[in-house]
Structure 1
Amino acid sequence: MNFNTKFKLSFMMFLEFFIWGGWFVTLGLFLEKNLSTTGAQSAAAFSTQSFGAIIAPFIIGLIADKYFNAERILGVLHLIGAVLMFQMYNAEDFTAFYPYVFAYMVAYMPTLALVNSVSFNQMTNPEKEFGVIRVWGTIGWIIAGLTISLVFAWDSSENAAAGMLRNTFLMTCIASLVLGIYSFMLPKTPPKIAKGEKKTITEILGLDAFALLKDKNYLIFFLASIMICIPLAFYYQNASLFLGEIEMTNLTSKMALGQVSEVLFMLLLPVFFGKFGIKKTLLVGMIAWVVRYALFAYGNVNELSFMLLIGIALHGICYDFFFVSGQIYTDSKAGEKFKSAAQGMITLATYGVGMLIGFWVAGVITDTYVTPDGVHDWQTIWLIPSGIAVLVALTFALAFKEKKPTPVTA
């Protein structure tokens, strides 16, 4: 890959995840401080990500893969996203805000697959080349957090209460507009399905990959992946609200420690995976969720602030050792026939079904453990997902029997 192409793809990834990190991290804090939402309303807003993930395969499989170049539909979706983000910036209450965030996530979630498609189309050795491109997405997410906290301080207690977090949507709107226009300058990525070629809906949407569930071990992993997303949803939905309520300074920049950790543990993952195998690697990822939420439950912003920072930094283990390892495990089980479809299936199960359940549970728990004057019992709220992670880890440890992968052929 020449330098020009590598630069274009890297900048595309940077903008793609700068956009996501530029508003999603502080959404929970914004919703309560500026729109006075309940836990259920916050859960509804975060659940739009899951609905977007569920709808995404239809957009990619039925439209992008068959009729349009990937880079063109990427541009159109981000231009639509810029308009919707501007409407979110202008919304004065949750009733006005929700339709726009729902429409935005339906437009945004398919772009996660599209940027991968554009990248892979330019690579001759994705195993070696993709990581160098994808890391710029994580850098973009980190830069977004640093901008919010250290450049503009929109997430400080005073500014958040004054409505300054609303500016995150304007910042994201501008970035979406830039990526929307820039996408039309990306390398051409034509439809994967040739004109005249006929495929069934099942093949286009990758539903054939569900044949993997005939394998008992993979079925156990698949169900564990859905269940572990319940604790994950608590982090996305409540972390910024929790840190804001206990008055952590520069909270968004400190939350970016999670992405820094993600990069570091991504480098360690192949070593750990090769030495200890899939079962122990996945278990370490699950146990990290248990520890993370216990640290949140008992830490504070004073003498125990280090516990909160360690909890944030555990994101690298939580995400890489379970979700990335799970993608590798899925790839090894799928064989050549189901590789792409299998990745789509596990994404649908986690970010779609699993997170949808998780956001609903997190909303109910958050509303249950709050006083009439709006004070949350954070210790209990965090210990519940920690306990769920314990149950998932124990069940997985007892039920999963590690063995060498055998690709599914039918």
Structure 2
Amino acid sequence: MTLTTRVKLSTMMFLEFFIWGAWFVTMGTYLTKTLAATDVQNGNAYATQSWGAIIAPFIIGLIADRFFSAQKVLGILHLTGAALLYYITTVPNFEGFFPLILAYMIIYMPTLALVNSVSFKQMTNPSKEFPPIRILGTLGWIIAGLTIGWLGWEQSNSLVLTFKMAAIASLVLGLLSFTLPSTPPAKKGQKTTIGDIMGLDSLGLLKNKSYLVFFIASVAICVPLAFYYNFTNPFLNEIGVKAAAGIQSMGQVSELAFMALMPLFFVRLGVKKMLAVGMFAWALRYIFFAYGDTGANYWMIIGGIVMHGICYDFFFVTGQIYTDNLAGERFKSAAQGFITLATYGVGMLIGSYISGPIVENWKTSATTHNWQTIWLIPAGISAVVLLVFIIFFKDKNQIQNKSGLNINEPDAQVEI
């Protein structure tokens, strides 16, 4: 890969996640403070991410993989997204906001796969070349949060500017996309079925009882996960945390740190314990939020945010590796697509629709909530999922991941 190509791909990845982080983290605060939205409406707005994740495979499978070069589709989607993000800043109420953010998420979510496709096409050794480029995406998310915190947009009620900032970045990425190396459609001329698009070929994995337990746990743990994404920023701003978006970016820093340490944990813990620690971290994080404050227990707030690295890496990244090893060469892509659709699609969708009414129910005034009770609910859900997982998930064999590390794996590789 040439230096020019590496710089372009790194910039692409930085902007891709800068755009998302620029508005997604603080959207709940923007909706409640600026558009006077209810907590139920806030949950509905965040559910658009899940609808986007559910629809995204169809856009990729039916359009990008068959007819047009990935970099051109990426450019068109981001230019369209830039227009939608800017237009969102002109609507005065939630009724006008919701259809626009739904349309935007349906456009944006497919780009997450497209930036990976464009990157991998240019690489001869993705396992070594991709991580340094992908890390720029996490850095983009962090810089977006730090910028919002540094400029004080949450305190000055100027969060409409986050959408304008994201619109500008989306415009830049849209234009940049047309200069990226050519990535022609991978399945041009091939017949694609709905089952192929949704990864249904990997359903045979569910015959493995332990994988079925993991799959159900993955969907279930995404219900409390939605509470974190949807309501952490409104919570932090309500209790008086300064530069909340910037503070939340510590979670992504933690994610990077624990990602680097994961090989060491794999050797000592194996898959079951890694997954269990991840779920336990979700429960503990919400307990920290329930009893944390801006006074003596401020360390709990920070601790809950920093635990994001354990929550995400230990469960989701471990789960991806486990799925990859269990599926076998033929069904790797289908299995990853299926688990992503189930978690970020179905699981997060359920969580978004549940979290809104729960937060709304525990409102104590027009602008305050009983956050202790609210956070103990996802903590309880996480604890139940953890308990069921520990009881029914069984380790039987050892497999090796691509790094050569032994990973506990239930049952042998499944024939599909």
Rounded to whole Å, the distance in 1 between the matches of 2:95 and 2:124 is 48
State the partner residue of 1:292. Answer: 285
Name the aligned partner's letter for residue 124 of structure 2: T
Does 2:203 correspond to 1:190? no
Rounded to whole Å, the distance in 2 between the matches of 1:63 and 1:219 is 32
Rounded to whole Å, the distance in 1 between the matches of 2:105 and 2:366 is 32
Alpha carbons of 1:28 and 1:92: their partners in 2 closer, same or farther (altered >3 Å)? same
State the partner residue of 2:45. Answer: 45
- Is the 2:65–2:188 Cα contact (8 Å) retained in structure 1? no
Rounded to whole Å, the distance in 1 between the matches of 2:391 and 2:57 is 33
- Is the 1:62–1:205 Cα contact (8 Å) retained in structure 2? no
State the partner residue of 2:377. Answer: 384
- Is the 1:337–1:409 Cα contact (8 Å) retained in structure 2? no
Structure 1 stretches lacking a partner, 5+ long: none
| Partner of residue 219 from structure 2, selected from 202, 214, 226 | 226
Does 2:269 correspond to 1:276? yes
- Is the 2:61–2:192 Cα contact (8 Å) retained in structure 1? no
- Is the 1:56–1:110 Cα contact (8 Å) retained in structure 2? yes
Rounded to whole Å, the distance in 2 between the matches of 1:63 and 1:79 is 17
Please state whether the residue corresponding to 2:182 is helix, strand or coil.
coil
State the partner residue of 1:89. Answer: 89
Structure 2 stretches lacking a partner, 5+ long: 398-408
Name the aligned partner's letter for residue 232 of structure 2: A
State the partner residue of 2:154. Answer: 155
After superposition, residues 192-341 of structure 1 pair within 5 angstroms as 192-195=186-189, 197-341=190-334
State the partner residue of 1:121. Answer: 121
Deviation at 1:374, TM superposition (A): 3.5
State the partner residue of 2:68. Answer: 68
Deviation at 1:291, TM superposition (A): 0.8
- Is the 1:149–1:250 Cα contact (8 Å) retained in structure 2? yes
Rounded to whole Å, the distance in 2 between the matches of 1:131 and 1:59 is 26
Does 2:413 correspond to 1:407? yes
- Is the 1:333–1:407 Cα contact (8 Å) retained in structure 2? yes
- Is the 2:227–2:378 Cα contact (8 Å) retained in structure 1? yes
Rounded to whole Å, the distance in 2 between the matches of 1:374 and 1:391 is 31
State the partner residue of 2:386. Answer: 393
Name the aligned partner's letter for residue 172 of structure 1: A
Rounded to whole Å, the distance in 1 between the matches of 2:121 and 2:415 is 25
Rounded to whole Å, the distance in 1 between the matches of 2:137 and 2:169 is 13
Normalising by structure 1, report the TM-score: 0.96
State the partner residue of 1:6. Answer: 6
Deviation at 1:204, TM superposition (A): 4.0
- Is the 2:64–2:185 Cα contact (8 Å) retained in structure 1? yes
Deviation at 1:372, TM superposition (A): 4.3
State the partner residue of 2:175. Answer: 181
- Is the 1:297–1:380 Cα contact (8 Å) retained in structure 2? yes
- Is the 1:148–1:168 Cα contact (8 Å) retained in structure 2? yes
Normalising by structure 2, report the TM-score: 0.95
Runs of 4+ in 1 over 4 A off after TM superposition: none
State the partner residue of 1:134. Answer: 134
For each residue in 1:154-198, what CA deviation from the matched residue of structure 2 results, as whole angstroms up to 9, or x when unmatched?
012xx12xxx10100000000000000101111111111133x33
- Is the 1:12–1:183 Cα contact (8 Å) retained in structure 2? yes
- Is the 2:327–2:414 Cα contact (8 Å) retained in structure 1? yes
State the partner residue of 1:77. Answer: 77
Rounded to whole Å, the distance in 1 between the matches of 2:10 and 2:342 is 28
**Which range is displaced more, 51-60 or 119-128?**
119-128
Rounded to whole Å, the distance in 2 between the matches of 1:203 and 1:101 is 28
- Is the 2:26–2:233 Cα contact (8 Å) retained in structure 1? yes
- Is the 2:198–2:341 Cα contact (8 Å) retained in structure 1? no
Rounded to whole Å, the distance in 1 between the matches of 2:270 and 2:259 is 16
Rounded to whole Å, the distance in 2 between the matches of 1:306 and 1:124 is 45
Name the aligned partner's letter for residue 102 of structure 1: L
Name the aligned partner's letter for residue 183 of structure 1: S
Deviation at 1:7, TM superposition (A): 1.3
**Which range is displaced more, 166-175 or 200-209?**
200-209
- Is the 1:209–1:334 Cα contact (8 Å) retained in structure 2? yes
State the partner residue of 2:361. Answer: 368
Rounded to whole Å, the distance in 1 between the matches of 2:237 and 2:285 is 18
For each residue in 1:246-269, what CA deviation from the matched residue of structure 2 results, as whole angstroms up to 9, or x when unmatched?
111111111000000000000011
Name the aligned partner's letter for residue 371 of structure 1: T
